[in-house]
């Protein structure tokens, strides 16, 4: 009787270790997918102003450390738009910066959830450094 009790404990311990290992494997696969889904945002910049947009940059909201130009040498003409897919968002919001043909900048903080549209109009007051 003593040996069957010992075997029963061994089987239970084996099942517990197997279940725990399986649970950790599933978590290792799911957590990165959930994190990636929360950090990517699709941002569409619509140019309804009279000026051509030459550059679009992204930055954390609490910094002025801009990343690379998101337009990759393209421009956004009047009445046109450009979409930045899977923008790297480590927080709940990101700052989008546009530069027009005159070297003036506009800033907009947008949400990192889902698809976001930022429409630039002639009513927006640009920062031209003077």
Instruction: Please check whether residue 20 lies inside any domain of the structure.
Output: no
Please determine, for residue 33, whether its predicted confidence score (pLDDT) is greater than 70: no
Residue 83 belongs to some domain of the structure: yes
Q: Which long-range contacts link 89-93 to residues 24+ away (Cβ below 8 Å)? A: 89/38, 89/39, 89/40, 89/41, 90/39, 90/60, 91/60, 91/61, 93/61
Average pLDDT, the chain: 81
Q: State the residue range of the domain holding 84.
A: 41-121
Q: 44, 80 in Cβ contact below 8 A?
A: no
pTM over 0.85: no
Tally of domains in the chain: 1
Are 59 and 84 in contact, with CB atoms under 8 Å apart?
no
Q: What pLDDT, on a 0 to 100 scale, did the predictor assign at position 17?
A: 73
> Can you say how many angstroms the Cα of residue 126 is from the centroid of all Cα atoms in its chain?
25
In a domain, 130, yes or no: no
pLDDT at 38 over 50: no
Domain holding 63: CATH number?
2.60.40.2890
Counting beta carbons within 10 angstroms of the beta carbon of residue 9, is it exposed (0 to 12), middle (13 to 18) or buried (19 or more)?
A: exposed
The yes-or-no verdict on residue 105 having pLDDT over 50 is: yes
75: pLDDT strictly greater than 90:
yes
**Share above pLDDT 90 across residues of the chain, in percent, rounded to a whole number:** 44
């Amino acid at each position: 009787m003593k040996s069957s009790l010992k075997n029963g404990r061994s089987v239970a311990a084996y099942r517990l270790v197997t279940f725990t290992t399986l649970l950790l494997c599933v978590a290792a696969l799911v957590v990165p997918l959930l994190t990636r889904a929360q950090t990517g945002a699709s941002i569409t910049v619509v140019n309804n102003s009279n000026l051509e947009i030459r550059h679009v940059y992204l930055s954390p909201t609490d910094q002025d450390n801009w990343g690379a130009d998101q337009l990759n040498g393209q421009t956004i003409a009047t009445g046109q738009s450009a979409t930045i897919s899977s923008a790297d968002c480590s927080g709940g919001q990101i700052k989008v910066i546009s530069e027009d043909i005159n070297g003036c900048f506009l800033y907009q903080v947008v949400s990192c959830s889902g698809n976001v549209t930022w429409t630039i109009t002639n009513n927006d007051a640009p920062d031209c450094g003077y």
